[in-house]
Amino acid sequence: MKVQHKLLIAFLISFLIFIVELAKLQPFESLNSLFNELKFRLRGQSQVDTSLIFLYIDDNAIYSLGGYPLKRSYYALLIDLLTQLNVKAIALDILLTERNSDYPERDELLALTIKNSNRVYLGGSFANLKRSDKDTSNYSKLIEKFLIKANEKNPNFIKGSNFLAPFDELLNSCAGLGHLNYIQLNFPKEIPLIIQIDENRYLPSLSLELSRIYYNIPRDSVKILKNEIYLGRMKIPTKDGKILINYIAGTKGLKMYPVLDFVRSYDAIKSGLEPEINLSEFKDKIVFIGIFSEALGQVVNTPFQDKFPPTGIHLMALNTIIRGKFLTETTSTLNFILSFVFSLLILHLTLMKNISNIIKLLVFPSLVILIFLLFSLALFVIDISIPAYPAFAILFSSLLGVIYTFEIERKKMIEIESQRSKIEEMIKEKELKIIELQQKLESLKLMEEKSSLISNLEKTYDEVKELTSKFEDFSDFNINYEINGAELEGIVYSKGGKMEEIISTVQKVAPSDAPVLITGESGAGKELIAMAIHKLSERKDKKFVTINCSAVPETLLESELFGYEKGAFTGATQRKKGLFEIADGGTIFLDEIAETSLSFQTKILRILQSGEFNRIGGTEVLKVNVRIIAATNRDIEKAIREGKFREDLYYRLNVIRIHIPPLRERKEDIPFLVEHFLRKFKSGDIKVSHAVMIAFLNYDWPGNIRQLENAIKRAIIFARSDGRKLIQLKDLPEEIAKSAKGKIDIEEKILNSLREKKFSHSSISETANELGLNRGTIGEYLRGICFRNLYECKFDITKASLKIAGDDPDVSERVKKKLIDYIKNLIENIAQCKSEDEIKSLIKQKYKNLPLRYHPYLEEFAIRFQKGELTMEKLNLNGGDT
């Protein structure tokens, strides 16, 4: 996908999420609340300001005091006691809207106590919020003195109506009044610090009213602006008059006492007893009185507690203000930018090529979400809150990325399928054409016409072969690993193949301590075999150390293997252990041993014989118990003959000899190795095409299994980057891909092979073995090739032989002999024939195995011979020079 497309998609997703955020759609808002809760929890709890105390009326109190509502005289008692304790303010979070006509004296007592206390702040509540201006309801004139006037107008300030106020006597006697509304009942996120009740007058929240008291600010020094409220000089950042509640704890972080304990403590002091609560701490504090009763349903959900007293919400808001730890939420525009950046990142990651689907589907989205979470949390620690909306954009983009990836793969599969069907159609068409041409050939009389028809036929044959090869490149090859493949310690091989014997040798020799010499070409798996021997031996829990003797200079090699003493050479500042010491009890694998010097070989021989050696620069004789496995890709016997390898070391090492044949000599392993490497490189369900497998089977693999491994690694990358689940010829290096076509032009292959073998006596059998065909087939092809060339060279045997021999005059004599044999055989066979038809039917009958395309050449020769146009003399066959 192009960068512009990614940018556009990221923009559209972010825009969509932006709209969803503005629309405040329910399921998204709920998820957002969950995200908010999570952030509060991850940030952890702390203590609420010590100047705040909460006295709560719990179920126990309600029960002991005769049920709810409590007698108003009880509130009077609490206020009286708190006043005596010299608290700074008392906030009564109880709605006392109606007088109690049965006990007017209790109402009077309460009103009087409130008046005398002169520090009681009462709460009221708007039944309706956000009603239109016109809908203002009547409210008692008595509340006017508690209102805040403002010049600033803001259409977004919350408006309230139907105010449920304390009854008039209470309003008359209290020191202040605040509303108790908050927005969202379950997990209240914010509180409107002011609610508009008419043109330019606002009722503060109980929390704002008490903040004013905390800072001793007169009511007319409260200033309301669009995005802030000033208490004197103290600035409270708001958004349309609302403040986000910065929760810092559940009930554990609050200083809170049950009212019964409070009253009992008071009585205890009076009676000279030890109080349960230290009442002296109430002095100068702001005390809230409220209900905390699960039975009455007076609980709300908060981040730290799902049953939290509603009064606690006002306490949290108040704590937010007096601590000055305001929470700011990122703006929708910033959220849009974050959504865009994260969406772009995730689209880029999920649409990356050469990455497996598992990583794209699971790892990348989880990683990006984690980054977003950590980022949100880091900001939350400094009181900046990002909502969950950018996370929705991430999820949405991941989903889109994944759908896109699968869609591309699906399209590729359909494309491959349709190309395959197209090729299949073409093959059918060509095959029909071949039948048609063959029938036409039968009916033709003149050789000139036949000749052009034959070349047309051959062209069509070649086209079919070409198409078949293409077709095979579009169909996957199924490898039956479970049935015929086997594995031992990571060595993959075919059951019943050449490697089976080697594996059984490995299993037999592993338990002994005898040295092993492994020979084989580079990349054939020598190290793997050595490792298997170690793993299958008693030494498996000890070290397997490997060193490539040709990769390090000789002096370094010795210090690596034998170690050195301090001061053994310049730079030897410390004694160092060698690999032999490190591998004590285990196995050491000396790769490319034939590349070492004779003096080094002597040291190895000593270890083999006695296990003894000296560190470089040391005199102490060290002894180790190490099994030695050596390997070489050289002809070691030749090295001995040339004096480059010690014969005695050879005999010691050669006790057990394992020769690993090169891959080209055990092609039966190839399908299983392919399957093994596809799994090893976690290719998912990528397969190889038939044509690729044919190429693999035909190729010579000079670099052996290592080369095959690398070819598959590269092919997986290529196929993946093209969104294909099929490895095709175009994914292979050219020299390997080329070999897929090797088998197709069989005539050329046969001729090349015979030429290579100089048409020797055994060349036909050897070619047959090499190409996996039988001897008879090769012979018939050669017969056909001879007659065709004879015709093309105007029946000049010498010329034709030279052409068949590939212009090699030495070889052409051998070919000539063969050609003459074929001619004589034909002449003999047609001797009795009288007519052309007889000749044709005889050739059909006698040369049943001759490929059809060569029949016309034999017929032409025979007819001309019968007519006398060709004679033994003309052909120069009577002379002794043949």
Ligand X SMILES: Nc1ncnc2c1ncn2[C@@H]1O[C@H](COP(=O)(O)OP(=O)(O)OP(=O)(O)O)[C@@H](O)[C@H]1O
**Tell me, what amino acid is at 818?**
K
Amino acid at 355: I
Among 96, 705, 790, 839, binds ligand X (CB under 6 A): 705
Nearest approach in angstroms of CB 602 to ligand X is: 24
Binding residue (CB under 6 A) for ligand X from 72, 159, 526, 603: 526
Nearer to ligand X, 73 or 522 (CB): 522
Taking a C-beta distance cutoff of 8 angstroms, is the pair 530, 491 a contact?
no
Q: How far is the CB of 591 from ligand X (least distance, A)?
A: 5
Pick the stretch among 38-46, 490-498, 563-571, 766-774 that binds ligand X (CB under 6 A).
490-498
- Residue 532 interacting with ligand X (CB under 6 A): no
The smaller minimum CB distance to ligand X, of residues 440 and 543, is found at 543
Sign of dihedral through CA atoms 546, 549, 553, 557? Answer: positive
Of the candidate spans 176-184, 350-358, 691-699, 704-712, the one that interacts with ligand X by CB under 6 A turns out to be 704-712
Q: Is the peptide bond before 69 cis (omega within 30 degrees of 0)?
A: yes
Q: Are 505 and 498 in contact (CB under 8 A)?
A: no
Count of residues for the chain? 882
Binding ligand X by CB under 6 A: which of 365, 523, 662, 856?
A: 523
Copy the structure tokens of residue 155.
Answer: 């259409």
Question: Is 518 or 839 the residue whose CB approaches ligand X more closely?
Answer: 518
Considering beta carbons, is residue 9 or 502 the nearer one to ligand X?
502
User: How far are the Cα atoms of 599, 624, 863 from residue 554, in angstroms, in the given order?
Assistant: 10, 22, 77
Kindly state the smallest distance separating residue 493's Cβ from ligand X, in Å.
6
The Cα 746–Cα 712 span in angstroms is: 28
Interface residue with ligand X among 330, 343, 559, 633 (CB under 6 A) is: 633
CB-wise, 126 or 672, nearer to ligand X? 672
Member of 61, 111, 524, 764 binding ligand X (CB under 6 A): 524
Footprint on residues 584-623 left by ligand X (CB under 6 A): 591
d(CA 570, CA 249): 67
Q: Are the CB atoms for 41 and 248 separated by under 8 Å?
A: no
Residue with tokens 């009185």: 289
- Contact segment (CB under 6 A) with ligand X among 8-16, 111-119, 269-277, 487-495 equals 487-495
Cβ closest to ligand X, residue 214 vs residue 493: 493
Number of residues that bind ligand X (CB under 6 A): 19
We find the least distance from the C-beta atom of residue 498 to ligand X, in angstroms, to be 11
**Nearest-angstrom CA–CA distance, 614 and 267:** 94
**One-letter amino acid identity for 632?**
T
In the numeric block, which tokens belong to residue 72?
């108003």
Of residues 229 and 593, the one with the C-beta less far from ligand X: 593
Given 81, 279, 491, 754, the residue binding ligand X (CB under 6 A): 491
Residue 330 neighbours by CB under 8 Å, 6+ apart: 338, 379, 384, 385, 386, 387
List of E strands, 69-140: 89-92, 120-129
Q: How far is the CB of 676 from ligand X (least distance, A)?
A: 5
Q: Which is nearer to ligand X, 438 or 710 (CB)?
A: 710
Closest CA to 254 of 204, 290, 280: 290
> Which one of 150-158, 177-185, 292-300, 489-497 is the stretch in contact with ligand X (CB under 6 A)?
489-497
Binding ligand X by CB under 6 A: which of 166, 290, 525, 671?
Answer: 525
- The phi and psi torsions of 758 (rounded to 5 degrees) equal 55, 35
Q: Which is nearer to ligand X, 277 or 583 (CB)?
A: 583
Distance CA(862)–CA(873), nearest Å, equals 15
Name the closest residue to ligand X (Cβ).
Answer: 525
Q: Does 492 bind ligand X (CB under 6 A)?
A: yes
Q: Which of 709, 731, 859, 860 binds ligand X (CB under 6 A)?
A: 709
CB of 710 to ligand X, least distance (A): 9
Q: Is the dihedral of CA 702, 705, 708, 710 positive or negative?
A: negative
Q: Least distance to ligand X from the beta carbon of 635, Å?
A: 14
Q: Which stretch binds ligand X (CB under 6 A): 385-393, 471-479, 515-523, 790-798?
A: 515-523
The residue range among 157-165, 315-323, 520-528, 558-566 that interacts with ligand X, by the rule CB under 6 A, is 520-528
Q: What is the dihedral of CA 731, 736, 738, 742, to 10 degrees?
A: -130
DSSP letters, 768-795, are HHHHT--HHHHHHHHHHHHHHHHHHTTT
Which of these ranges, 41-49, 525-533, 638-646, 681-689, lies near ligand X under the rule CB under 6 A?
525-533
By CB under 6 A, the residues from 302 to 341 that bind ligand X are: none
CB of 600 to ligand X, least distance (A): 19
**In this complex, which beta carbon is closest to ligand X, that of residue 48 or of residue 516?**
516
The correct pick among 676, 755, 788, 814 for binding ligand X (CB under 6 A) is 676
Candidates 99, 201, 433, 706: give the one binding ligand X (CB under 6 A).
706
According to the 3-state scheme, what is the secondary structure of 489-502? CCEEEECCCHHHHH
Cβ atoms of residues 758 and 809 within 8 Å: no
758: left (phi over 0), alpha (psi -120 to 50) or beta: left
Amino acid at 281: E
Q: Does residue 666 touch ligand X according to CB under 6 A?
A: no
The single residue among 20, 129, 367, 528 that binds ligand X, judged by CB under 6 A, is: 528
Of 522, 698, 753, 777, which lies in the binding site for ligand X, with binding defined by CB under 6 A?
Answer: 522
Phi, psi of 740 (to 5 degrees): -65, -30
For the CB of residue 584, give the shortest distance to ligand X in the complex, in Å: 24
Closer CB to ligand X, 492 or 823, in the complex: 492
Q: Which is nearer to ligand X, 80 or 709 (CB)?
A: 709
Nearer to ligand X by Cβ, of 89 and 492: the residue is: 492
Nearest-CA neighbor of 788 among 439, 444, 450, 437? 450
Alpha-carbon distance of 183 to 176, in angstroms, equals 22
Q: How far is the CB of 632 from ligand X (least distance, A)?
A: 8
Closest distance to ligand X from the beta carbon of 545 (Å): 15
Shortest distance (Å) from residue 546 CB to ligand X: 9
- For ligand X, the closer of residues 92 and 524 by Cβ is 524
Of the candidates 660, 657, 655, 696, the residue with the CA atom closest to the CA atom of residue 676: 696
- Residue among 169 and 591 whose Cβ is closer to ligand X: 591
Three-state DSSP class for residue 694:
helix
The residues in 235-264 that bind ligand X, with binding defined as CB under 6 A, are none
| Residue of 182, 257, 392, 493 that binds ligand X (CB under 6 A) | 493
**Piece of 119-127, 383-391, 485-493, 767-775 that binds ligand X (CB under 6 A):** 485-493
Binders of ligand X among residues 533 to 592 (CB under 6 A) are 591
CB environment 858-879: b (16+ within 10 A), e (fewer)? bbbbbbbbbeeebeeeebebee
Q: Which of 532/768 has CB closer to ligand X?
A: 532
Q: Please, which residue, 532 or 863, has the CB nearer to ligand X? A: 532
C-alpha to C-alpha distances, 597 to 554, 593, 773, nearest whole angstrom? 8, 9, 48
Whole-angstrom CA distances from 498 to 502, 518, 668, 669, 865 are: 7, 16, 8, 9, 53
Of 418 and 504, the one with the shorter C-beta distance to ligand X is 504
In the numeric block, which tokens belong to residue 217?
A: 């600010």
- Residue 460: closest CA among 433, 486, 439, 438: 433
Which residues here bind ligand X, judged by CB under 6 A?
490-493, 520, 522-528, 591, 633, 673, 676, 705-706, 709
